[in-house]
């Protein structure tokens, strides 16, 4: 018996809705905490839906709100942003600036008619592999509830 056959559990592919739609999700994460947390999720062999693609930036402070708007423009159904916990930023306070920008951006997204369910901002440390997997799992489910992103109306 091959190794594949031994595994009786059905492998988990992309999370998809009943009609076969698979949400496309992009993540912008900082190198020092969340990216390392995502690596830890990997070395701990935790499982989460493969819908997410991660873009690595040095610090959440590097995340230009334009990146998030661009992602929606390109048809992503959800955007995840995560950095170091407050007080833990590798660059002392980059994440505080990120937090302020994101708070403003969330208002703009709302104004533009983009459902708040499509955007998630979190703090995930290098030690929180488990949290990373959970956040991705939960966020993917959340994006599924609002269906495919059809662009901004108007």
User: DSSP secondary-structure letter at 27?
Assistant: E
Smallest distance from another protein to CB 129, Å = 10
65 part of the interface to another protein, by CB under 8 A: yes
- In the chain, which ranges are E strands? 25-30, 52-57, 78-83, 119-123
CA angle 36, 41, 43 (to 5 degrees): 90
Q: Residues 31, 60: contact at Cβ < 8 Å? A: no
Smallest distance from another protein to CB 33, Å = 8
Nearest to 82 by CA among 126, 116, 22, 144: 126
Smallest distance from another protein to CB 131, Å = 10
- Could you tell me which stretch among 65-73, 112-120, 141-149 binds another protein (CB under 8 A)? 65-73
Smallest distance from another protein to CB 151, Å = 13
Site string for another protein, 104-123 (x = CB under 8 A): --------------------
- Whole-number Cα distances in Å, 147 to 10, 63, 71, 77: 25, 26, 16, 8
Residue identified by tokens 């590798």 is: 90
17 part of the interface to another protein, by CB under 8 A: no
List of residues contacting another protein (CB under 8 A): 3, 7, 11-14, 24, 26, 31-33, 35-36, 38-39, 41-43, 45-48, 50, 53-59, 61-67, 70-71, 74-76, 87-94, 97-98, 101, 125-127, 133
């Amino acid at each position: 018996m091959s190794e594949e056959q031994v595994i009786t559990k059905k492998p988990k592919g992309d999370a998809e809705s009943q009609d076969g739609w698979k949400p496309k999700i992009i993540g912008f994460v900082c190198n020092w905490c969340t990216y390392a947390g995502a690596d830890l999720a990997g070395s701990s062999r935790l499982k989460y839906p493969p819908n997410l693609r991660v873009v690595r930036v040095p610090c959440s402070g590097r995340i230009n709100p334009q990146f998030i708007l661009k992602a929606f423009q390109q048809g992503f159904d959800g955007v995840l942003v995560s950095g170091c916990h407050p007080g833990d930023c590798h660059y002392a306070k980059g994440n505080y600036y990120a937090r302020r920008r994101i708070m403003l951006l969330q208002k703009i997204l709302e104004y533009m008619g983009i459902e708040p369910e499509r955007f998630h901002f979190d703090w995930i440390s290098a030690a929180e592999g488990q949290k990373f997997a959970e956040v991705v799992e939960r966020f993917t489910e959340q994006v599924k509830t609002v269906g495919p992103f059809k662009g901004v109306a108007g």
